[in-house]
Structure 1
Amino acid sequence: MSTAELAWFKSSYSSAQGDSCIEVALDWHKSTYSSAQGDDCIEVALTPTTIHIRDSKDPSRPHLGLTPSAWTPFVAHAAARAD
């Protein structure tokens, strides 16, 4: 995996004074329903407590975070809306 696929950000425990801190990264994956033609789709990044969701067309925009227990109902609702 290249670092270009990771979204790095400072820990919320970091201060603005530039002191020592850690950075964490999310490993984003494009939906398996996406094609190589640049279709509109989402990307997801998994952590133990949160499933992060973002727009693949504009990854710099804010993303949605869901708990694992909210993921299944979210996907079911999205699939019903797509029909």
Structure 2
Amino acid sequence: MNLSEIEAFPAIVDSPSITKAAEMLYLSQSTISHRLKSLEKELETTLIIRGNGQRTIYLTLKGEEFVQIARKWAALWRDTQQFKTDQVFS
């Protein structure tokens, strides 16, 4: 699990489509799909349901739980990077 996978998930949820998430992150749809599949494999659960021929996604119960964790994880990463930057100038 890495930051790019974690950041992709809330983007998908906020969009709510893989195509729109890809546009928002300036990535290809296949890249976002790959990151989502990798994250689901790592977590050993399905996070979203994608209907055949439908552009909208739906969160599973585990997806609803994990989106909060993903947001916290990404925020902690940003805070850590800011902390490192602040150290340089202190």
Same fold by TM-score greater than 0.5: no
Larger radius of gyration: 1
> TM (normalized to structure 2)?
0.30
- Which structure's relative contact order is higher, taking Cα pairs within 8 Å and 6+ residues apart? 2
Greater per-residue helix proportion: 2
> TM (normalized to structure 1)?
0.32
Greater per-residue strand proportion: 1
